[in-house]
Amino acid sequence: AETVLITQQSHEELRKVLDANKTSAPGQQRLVVISVSPQSRASLAARFQLNPTDTARKLTTFFKKLGAHYVFDTAFSRNFSLLESQREFVRRFRGQADSKQALPVLTSACPGWICYAEKTHGTLLIPHLSTARSPQQVMGSLVKDFFAQQQRLTPDKIYHVTVMPCYDKKLEASRPDFFSQEHQTRDVDCVITTGEVFKLLQEEGVLLSELEPTPLDGLCSSGSAQEPTSHQGGGSGGYLEHVFRHAAQELFGVHVTEVTYRPLRNKDFQEVTLEREGQVLLHFAMAYGFRNIQNLVQKLKRGRCPYHYVEVMACPAGCLNGGGQLKAPDTADKELLQHVERLYSMVRTEVPEDVPGVQELYKRWLQGEGSEQAGRLLHTSYHAVEKASSGLSIRW
């Protein structure tokens, strides 16, 4: 199954769809939409010695020359992932959620971690997982639902490609939860890694730095992108910081200006607390890499996990260090990662609540915050993998 997945989701597959479009009758063509992650942009910027904004614009030119119709920034869909995560945490902290949804809340945007959680400790971990969809999968909803309606197309007439820093995002895109039975199409049809974009550039004989820039496309009238954006709080999406700031304000009326991390075992396991008169009000942590994840799981198993919220990522150092990112033959991994981190943080950051277009979409597309529509399109569920006598079987 994994071989099928890799061939279905590769840069060769994207090329096939683009080639088929060139020879098809106009009514038979598929609209090709490409959503680029901020992490991939930073990795390519390092390789081509560009700033991230130029990288995003030159990539847009490249994809459009190849035949793509629209190029979006995944930072836009991340606004919804962050807002939904914030609200979910406050609800669960106040005990307003289903009683089976326990604290700590564990982030779920990393498919490497989700795969591990479902396969190894499903019963223990699933109740803790945040149900908010990852930025990739919110983009899937935006493109195949909202944007398809705007374009007056059925979702299967759109071929949606994401550019991501890791291979596990291919697994995430192919989960049955993100497949429409009605339209026989996935929310994200094809995931290509940063490295595969580099291969495409090489195969086309294109030097990214030499292309003219083209502005990014915007998904809705007031959310027109033009320039790439990002969020505060590290290269894996900033979940901890956004949820922490929001919860401090919403639950305790505290306005947090700066989030201070305290290293625990190593730089990939750190914690953040909100305290008042010696009392810990909020206790958050980040756990990156499997060594730290296993440590976290042990704490949960023993009933000794002190955290309210944990940002969990499978890769040491997080998504900027994902397995699909570019390596530099002449630069040490650590040095390259620091350079990519610098480039990543050069982009203008936005507060999700204030991003043009986000509130409009909550109103027009989702019929309000907390609506049934928002639940269906911005959240998901997880499934324990049961050990069957003949081996592993997945219960969806």
For ligand SF4, the binding residues (CB under 6 A) are 110, 112, 165-166, 168, 236, 313-315, 318-319, 322
- DSSP state letter for 386: E
Do residues 192 and 10 make contact, with C-beta atoms less than 8 angstroms apart? Answer: yes
Residue number with CB closer to ligand SF4 (155 or 318): 318
Distance from C-alpha of 197 to C-alpha of 36, rounded to nearest angstrom: 10
Query: Could you tell me the end-to-end alpha-carbon distance of the chain, in angstroms, rounded to an integer?
Result: 16
Question: Parallel, antiparallel, or unpaired for β 190-193 and 185-186?
Answer: unpaired
Residue 262 three-state SS: strand
Whats the size of the chain, residue-wise?
396
Residue number with CB closer to ligand SF4 (139 or 158): 139
Residue 262 Cβ vs ligand SF4, minimum distance, rounded to whole Å: 21
Residue number with CB closer to ligand SF4 (219 or 320): 320
Residue number with CB closer to ligand SF4 (70 or 382): 382
Q: What is the number of the residue whose Cβ is closest to ligand SF4?
A: 322
In 53-157, which ranges are E strands?
70-73, 105-106
Residue 70 Cβ vs ligand SF4, minimum distance, rounded to whole Å: 24
The pair of structure tokens assigned to 168 is 């596990």
Residue 358 Cβ vs ligand SF4, minimum distance, rounded to whole Å: 23
Do residues 151 and 158 make contact, with C-beta atoms less than 8 angstroms apart? Answer: yes
Residue number with CB closer to ligand SF4 (234 or 318): 318
Residue 183 Cβ vs ligand SF4, minimum distance, rounded to whole Å: 27
Which alpha helices (H) appear in the chain, and where do they start and end? 2-8, 11-23, 38-48, 52-66, 74-93, 111-120, 122-125, 135-141, 148-150, 168-173, 194-204, 239-252, 290-301, 333-344, 358-364, 372-378
Residue 366 Cβ vs ligand SF4, minimum distance, rounded to whole Å: 25
Residue number with CB closer to ligand SF4 (168 or 217): 168
Residue number with CB closer to ligand SF4 (165 or 238): 165
Helix (H) or strand (E) holding 358: helix 358-364
Starting at the edge strand found earlier in the chain, the sheet holding 190-193 runs 70-73, 31-36, 158-164, 190-193
Residue 319 Cβ vs ligand SF4, minimum distance, rounded to whole Å: 3
Could you give phi then psi for residue 143, rounded to 5 degrees?
-75, -45
Residue 290 Cβ vs ligand SF4, minimum distance, rounded to whole Å: 10
Residue number with CB closer to ligand SF4 (282 or 296): 296
